[in-house]
């Protein structure tokens, strides 16, 4: 792990939304990063963060004292914001085209962007990374810099929150060649940026549709488990995923019920062993937010549970249980990940730590 003589100055784009709030709470006291700038829409600009968030703070965690008096800036003041930070996290609420444009504009202003948004996930030279799985995909940043005409500016993204509970298991089992996956995700309401006071109709209710989520669940893993050829990403062509995504009355934590077919014939013991021993760049380099171990395998029949397991390793880890033989597929299991920590802000923070360790993010 690198030792920084001084902390990197961080800006939060979209700091007033739920994911922006999660960035701010997770970065409070971070050993490498200090939030110095918060940006949002013009309606919040000019107010202190505390004033801008009156009646809008949605997390159970309290607002950190260190950010309360920061004056919120207009997200469109790119030059001013870029001059005051070393890099930014992006959690903006705009159309996809607007997000692409503004993230590119920050990158062109020589400010690296680590994004929670989906807009750039399929841009050919933008890496979409789970640091334990496909850290090598950051290598394409040099190709992106040539397109943007930058020396240090680029955009990197983390994948969708709903895939975090099962793609790590598929990555751990690559030697056994998984080729067909059927998954149903049971997704918390905070994934929609809401809590129960915002969305009372979710109490005691299930909604069997989340716009765009099934498409993301089926195709994003193929990029993560794919490769780079000729300066472009090539999707994994040896895997098919079908999914259903359901909104459930849970505040935090996306659960996945997963069925897998393998070309090879692993034993249950081999599958569990690979989960327990799976690690990657964050663990090997002892990054500040790295969960240890990355995957928490639980042997009890009734685990993982949201109430007991969603904050495993402060929400940065993934919990898996109930690996067992199936009558139609080869095996099935249950996965769980915290959707606004590992699945959103925390996953982006771990990406940023990895980018610092690899030398892509530095002090200006």
- Residues 302, 311: contact at Cβ < 8 Å? no
Distances (CA, A) of 262 to 181, 240, 265, 327: 9, 11, 6, 14
b/e sequence 61-96, b meaning 16+ C-beta within 10 Å: eebeeebeebebbbbeebeebbeebbbbbbbbbbee
Residues 278 and 294: beta-carbon distance below 8 Å: yes
Residue bearing tokens 């005409």 = 149
Question: Residue 262: how many CB atoms within 10 A of its CB?
Answer: 17
Give burial (CB, 10 Å; 0-12/13-18/19+) of 146: exposed
The verdict on whether 182 is a catalytic residue reads no
Give me 144's structure tokens: 């992106």
Considering the candidates 137, 161, 245, 338, report the single residue annotated as catalytic.
161
Active site residue 351: no
Burial of residue 263 (CB within 10 Å: 0-12, 13-18, 19+) is: exposed
Per the residue annotation, which of 120, 182, 245, 254 is the catalytic one?
254
Q: Which long-range contacts (CB under 8 A, 24 or more apart) does 21-25 make?
A: 21/53, 21/57, 21/58, 21/59, 21/63, 22/59, 22/340, 22/341, 22/344, 22/345, 22/346, 23/89, 23/91, 23/345, 23/348, 23/349, 24/63, 24/64, 24/67, 25/59, 25/61, 25/63, 25/64
- Residues with catalytic annotation? 161, 254
């Amino acid at each position: 792990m690198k030792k920084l003589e001084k902390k990197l100055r961080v800006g939060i784009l979209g700091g007033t939304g739920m994911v922006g709030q999660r960035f701010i709470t997770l970065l409070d006291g971070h050993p490498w990063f200090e939030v110095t700038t918060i940006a949002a829409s013009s309606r919040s600009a000019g107010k202190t963060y505390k004033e801008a968030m009156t009646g809008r703070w949605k997390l159970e965690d309290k607002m950190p004292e260190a950010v309360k008096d920061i004056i919120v800036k207009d997200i469109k003041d790119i030059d001013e914001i870029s001059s005051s930070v070393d890099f930014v996290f992006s959690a903006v609420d705009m159309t996809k085209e607007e997000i692409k444009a503004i993230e590119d504009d920050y990158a062109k202003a020589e400010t690296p962007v680590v994004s929670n948004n989906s807009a750039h996930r399929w841009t050919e030279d933008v890496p979409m990374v789970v640091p334990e799985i496909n850290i090598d995909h950051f290598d394409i940043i040099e190709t992106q810099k040539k397109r943007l005409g930058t020396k240090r500016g680029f955009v990197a993204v983390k994948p969708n929150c709903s895939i975090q509970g099962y793609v790590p298991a598929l990555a751990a089992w690559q030697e056994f060649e998984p080729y067909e996956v059927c998954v149903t995700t049971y997704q918390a309401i905070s994934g929609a940026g809401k809590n129960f006071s915002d969305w009372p109709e979710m109490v005691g209710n299930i909604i069997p549709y989340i716009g765009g989520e099934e498409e993301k669940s089926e195709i994003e893993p193929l990029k993560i488990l794919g490769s780079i050829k000729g300066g472009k990403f090539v999707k994994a062509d040896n895997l098919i995923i079908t999914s259903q995504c359901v909104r459930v009355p849970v505040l935090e934590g996306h659960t996945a019920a997963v069925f897998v077919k393998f070309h090879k014939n692993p034993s249950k013991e081999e599958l569990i062993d690979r989960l327990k021993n799976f690690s990657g760049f964050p663990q090997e380099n002892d990054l500040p937010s790295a969960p240890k171990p990355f995957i928490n395998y639980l042997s009890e029949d009734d685990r993982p549970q949201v109430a007991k397991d969603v904050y495993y390793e402060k929400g940065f880890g993934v919990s898996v249980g109930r690996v067992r033989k199936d009558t139609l597929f080869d095996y099935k299991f249950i996965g769980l990940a915290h959707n606004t920590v590992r699945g959103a802000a925390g996953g982006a923070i771990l990406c940023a730590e990895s980018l610092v360790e690899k030398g892509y993010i530095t002090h200006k």
